[in-house]
Amino acid sequence: MELGAPGIEGLAEHMVRNSAPTANLLKRLSLDLPIIQAPMAGVSSPAMAAAVAQAGGLGSLGVGAADAEGAGRMIAETRERSNKPLNVNVFTHQPARRDLHVETAWIERLRPQFEAFGAEPPTALGEIYKSFVADDAMLAMLIAQKPAVVSLHFGLPEPRRLQALRDAGIVLFASVTSLAEARLAAAAGVDALIAQGYEAGGHRGVFDPDTADDQLGVLALTRLLVSQFDLPIVAAGGIMDGAGIGAVLALGAAAAQLGAAYVATDESLADNGYRQALFSDAAHHTVMTRAISGRPARCLANRFTRVCADAAPAAVPQYPIAYDLGKALHTAAKTAGESGFGAQWAGQGAPLARRMSAGALTRTLADEIR
Ligand SMILES: Cc1cc2nc3c(=O)[nH]c(=O)nc-3n(C[C@H](O)[C@H](O)[C@H](O)COP(=O)(O)O)c2cc1C
Question: Pocket of ligand 1, candidates 35, 37, 40, 234: which has the most ligand atoms within 8 Å of its Cβ, to mutate?
Answer: 40
Q: pTM for the complete prediction? A: 0.96
pLDDT tens profile 244-274: 999 999 999 999 999 999 999 999 999 999 9
pLDDT tens profile 47-68: 999 999 999 999 999 999 999 9
Would you say residue 7 has pLDDT above 80? Answer: no
Would you say residue 137 has pLDDT above 50? Answer: yes
Q: Which amino acid, one-letter code, is at 100? A: L
pLDDT tens profile 70-126: 999 999 999 999 999 999 999 999 999 999 999 999 999 999 999 999 999 999 999
Would you say residue 8 has pLDDT above 70? Answer: no
Angle at 164 between CA 51 and CA 33, to 5 degrees: 25
Give the residue, by CA position, lying nearest to ligand 1 atom 15: 202
Backbone angles phi, psi at 233, to 5 degrees: -110, 130
- How far apart (Å, rounded) are the C-alpha atoms in residues 212 and 234? 23
- 3-state SS string for 218-246: HHHHHHHHHHHCCCCEEEECCCCCHHHHH
List beta partners, residue 58: 36
**Mean pLDDT score of the chain:** 95
- How far apart (Å, rounded) are the C-alpha atoms in residues 315 and 236? 29
pLDDT tens profile 307-340: 999 999 999 999 999 999 999 999 999 999 999 9
| Among candidate residues 5, 59, 63, the one with its CA nearest the CA of residue 31 | 59
HSE, side-chain direction, 13 A CA sphere, residue 52: 32
- How far apart (Å, rounded) are the C-alpha atoms in residues 299 and 290? 10
Give the residue, by CA position, lying nearest to ligand 1 atom 29: 202
Question: What pLDDT score was predicted for residue 5?
Answer: 47
Backbone angles phi, psi at 188, to 5 degrees: -80, -5
Q: Which residues line ligand 1 (CB under 6 A)?
A: 38-41, 43, 62, 64, 89, 151, 153, 175, 196, 199-203, 236-239, 257-261, 263, 345-347, 349
Give the whole-number percent of the chain exceeding pLDDT 70: 96
The 3-state DSSP class for residue 297 equals strand
The 3-state DSSP class for residue 251 equals coil
- How far apart (Å, rounded) are the C-alpha atoms in residues 363 and 138? 33
